[in-house]
Amino acid sequence: MYNIPQNLIDILNKPIGKLVNEKKLLQILKNEKKIISIGDTVTYTLLKNGFEPIVCIVDYKTHRGSCEDEIV
């Protein structure tokens, strides 16, 4: 397990790129071979729908609060 330096956490805490709903996300990624997942909810959504990201970045928090037991 790796810890991200605080200065990068502050940068990565803000959304980067276009926000899409779950249906659109799955459509966008359906033909992708190498997926990197950032965020507990996104990672959970991908795994639940059969995607296997090559890297998952999680901190066991969603919307800056604790994750639901189902996700953890």
The pLDDT assigned to 33 comes to 93
Which pTM value belongs to this model?
0.71
Rounded to an integer, what distance in angstroms lies between the CA atom of residue 58 and that of residue 41?
9
Question: What phi and psi, each to the nearest 5 degrees, are found at residue 12?
Answer: -80, -10
pLDDT of residue 50: 96
Q: What is the pLDDT along the chain (72 residues), one digit of tens a residue?
A: 778 888 888 887 777 888 899 999 999 999 999 999 988 999 999 999 999 999 998 888 877 666 566 655
Q: Can you tell me the distance from the alpha carbon of 11 to that of 20, in angstroms, rounded to the nearest whole number? A: 20
Give the pLDDT score at 56.
94
At 18 the pLDDT is 85
